[in-house]
Amino acid sequence: MAARGPGLGVAMALCAGALGALAATAAKLTLTGDHLRPESRQEAAPGELIHVLLRVGCGGLVFLFNALMWTFFAKALRYSSSSARASLTTTASNFLSSAFLGKLLFGEVHALLWWIGITMTLCGLLLLHTASSQKNQSENSQKHE
């Protein structure tokens, strides 16, 4: 099957990164289920059953999101011009999605060093995409001459 353009590979890699972040979030909810525990201890039996069911459900979501993430990553590798582009795009998407979900669901705050690292990753991604597109343009112009 022929590639459907470089945009499809990038879209698949972005989805893979977001799904990886969702899997990590579900794993955190599974292993540190305090977020799922009811506040009231008066109804211990029904509340505890719901707590266990929610944790098991989140455990299932870990496997589902990981399977989807690997599927999308494999497709990103197929449709991207290079494996480095797909890997770096997936990584950047995963970091940003993890930061967003961590802040939204758990109130996490990241240190300055973390933001410096993600900025360097995004700059590398931008450099990779720019260099690759310039190479493709020069190859296309040489073919037409």
Phi, psi of 43 (to 5 degrees): -100, 65
**Are both 91 and 122 inside the same structural domain?**
yes
What CA–CA distances, in Å, run from 3 to 53, 54, 102, 130, 140? 42, 40, 35, 19, 17
What region does 95 belong to: left with phi over 0, alpha with psi -120 to 50, or beta?
Answer: alpha
Q: What is the mean pLDDT of residues 72-88?
A: 91
> What are the pLDDT digits (tens) for 117-142?
989 988 988 888 777 666 666 666 66
Residue 34 placed within a domain? no
Give the domain range for residue 61. Answer: 51-80
Domain boundary among 37, 60, 80: 80
pTM over 0.85: no
**Are both 87 and 117 inside the same structural domain?**
yes
Residue 124 placed within a domain? yes
Count of the separate structural domains present in the chain: 2
> What are the pLDDT digits (tens) for 21-66?
999 999 999 888 565 555 555 555 667 888 888 889 999 999 999 9
